[in-house]
């Protein structure tokens, strides 16, 4: 089985809030669900939001476009939810990446996706609360509305990963099988090699296990991660309580930063 996200920090700690002053050459990397949008019963329940659009526009101006959204969602869905406010986006956990100048870089779909898609669709039909999601380069089965199915869904994901060679990605009440390749940390690293991110300090904000790769990359490259929500073992160095706290912190960064 190929599984993503090994967290090296094993102890659970109470993390402090992040600093309100950041160096001028800071780059922000933002998860969407659980960070810029509350977790909803269905992924389709998340849509454009005026406050989010305003905050992102101000951040892009303040940080000279050194802002990217890095999410598990696919690129068209992110463009819709973000109301076209973001140029730089890492989609499907980094398997699809749109650079600040608009170039789109994407992996080819893994051939094992066809079998995984068929089996997960069949499982979704067996239980009303299960929700299948197809992202092109990955397929997912959400069990938020059927928590009693968690063990069976995870076991199915493990078996499919072993059989197909797809990467098993465990998230917040979701099992995902994705094409091998880049993760959120790799997306951050790639952005930092390009203008306008080149030479900046990365700050990654996210809530889920899928964001640990982003936290680890930010640490390695001289920045830090911010965990949103519940305390757990993490690579992040700071914490914000919820999405509202994220927006309040980001709004405090919307003014020009110090040199």
Q: Are 135 and 73 in contact (CB under 8 A)?
A: yes
Residue 161: HSE in the Cβ half-sphere, 13 Å Cα cutoff: 20
Q: Are 157 and 141 in contact (CB under 8 A)?
A: yes
Q: Is 65 a catalytic residue?
A: no
Q: Are 27 and 204 in contact (CB under 8 A)?
A: no
Q: Are 223 and 204 in contact (CB under 8 A)?
A: yes
C-alpha–C-alpha distance, residues 53 and 227, integer Å? 22
Which token pair is 127? Answer: 């239980």
Q: Count of CB atoms within 10 A of residue 165's CB?
A: 15
Residue from 14, 21, 31, 49 carrying the catalytic annotation: 31
> Smallest Cα–Cα separation from 185: which of 227, 221, 215?
215
Give the residues across from 170 on adjacent strands.
175
Question: How does 22-39 read in b/e, with b if 16+ C-beta sit within 10 Å?
Answer: beebbbbbbbbbbbbbeb
What is the tally of helices (H) and strands (E) in the chain? Answer: 7, 13
Residues classed as catalytic: 31
């Amino acid at each position: 089985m190929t599984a993503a996200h090994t967290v090296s920090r094993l102890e659970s700690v109470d993390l402090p809030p992040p600093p309100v002053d950041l160096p001028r050459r800071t780059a922000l990397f933002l998860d969407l669900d659980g960070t810029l949008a509350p977790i909803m019963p269905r992924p389709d329940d998340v849509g454009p939001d005026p406050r989010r659009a305003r905050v992102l526009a101000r951040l892009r101006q303040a940080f000279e476009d050194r802002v990217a959204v890095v999410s598990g969602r696919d690129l068209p869905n992110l463009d819709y939810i973000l109301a076209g406010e973001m140029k730089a986006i890492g989609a499907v956990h980094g398997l699809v990446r749109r650079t600040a100048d608009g170039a789109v870089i994407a992996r080819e779909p893994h051939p094992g996706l066809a079998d995984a898609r068929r089996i997960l669709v069949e499982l979704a039909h067996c239980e009303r609360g299960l929700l299948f999601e197809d992202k092109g380069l990955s397929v997912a089965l959400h069990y938020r509305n059927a928590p009693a199915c968690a063990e069976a869904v995870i076991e199915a994901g493990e078996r499919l990963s072993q059989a197909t060679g797809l990467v098993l990605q465990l998230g917040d009440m979701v099992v995902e099988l994705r094409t091998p390749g880049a993760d959120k940390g790799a997306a951050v690293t790639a952005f930092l090699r390009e203008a306008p991110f080149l030479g900046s300090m990365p700050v990654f904000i996210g809530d889920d296990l899928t964001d640990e790769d982003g936290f680890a990359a930010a640490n390695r490259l001289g920045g830090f991660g911010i965990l949103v929500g519940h305390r757990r073992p993490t690579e992040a160095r700071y914490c914000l309580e919820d999405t509202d706290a994220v927006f309040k912190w980001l709004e405090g960064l919307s003014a020009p930063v110090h040199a």
